Amino acid sequence: MNLQFIKDIKGNTTGVFIPIEEWQSLKTKYSDLQNEEINTCVELNSWQKEIIDERLENYYKNPKDVLDFDTTIAKIRKGL
């Protein structure tokens, strides 16, 4: 299995990325995974979609006016 581990800025493993082909295979092999996927699917409200659309529009208009995730989190933690 070709897993990719996701780590935070401190090197702690925070997640796992499973390629879609392998995920499909796992769901076939373990039917509970299919049920879990269906039960955890969350639909966004229209107001949430509007916020995302606005933020994407702002990003596309000003792509250099953003900070990457790790830098932003580091600044937040420094301020705590």
The Cα 25–Cα 29 span in angstroms is: 6
The DSSP secondary structure of the chain, one letter per residue, reads ---EEEE-TTS-EEEEE--HHHHHHHHHH-HHHHHHHHHH--PPPHHHHHHHHHHHHHHHH-TTS---HHHHHHHHHHH-
Whole-number pLDDT of residue 39: 67
Query: How does pLDDT run across 14-62, given as a tens digit for each residue?
Result: 999 999 999 889 888 888 887 776 667 678 899 999 999 999 999 999 9
pLDDT of residue 32: 82
Angle at 11 between CA 7 and CA 17, to 5 degrees: 15
> What is the value of pTM for the model shown?
0.40
Q: pLDDT at position 17, please?
A: 94
- Cα end-to-end span (Å), the chain: 40
Q: What is the pLDDT of residues 62-74, one digit of tens each?
A: 998 888 899 899 9
The pLDDT, as a whole number, for residue 38 is 65
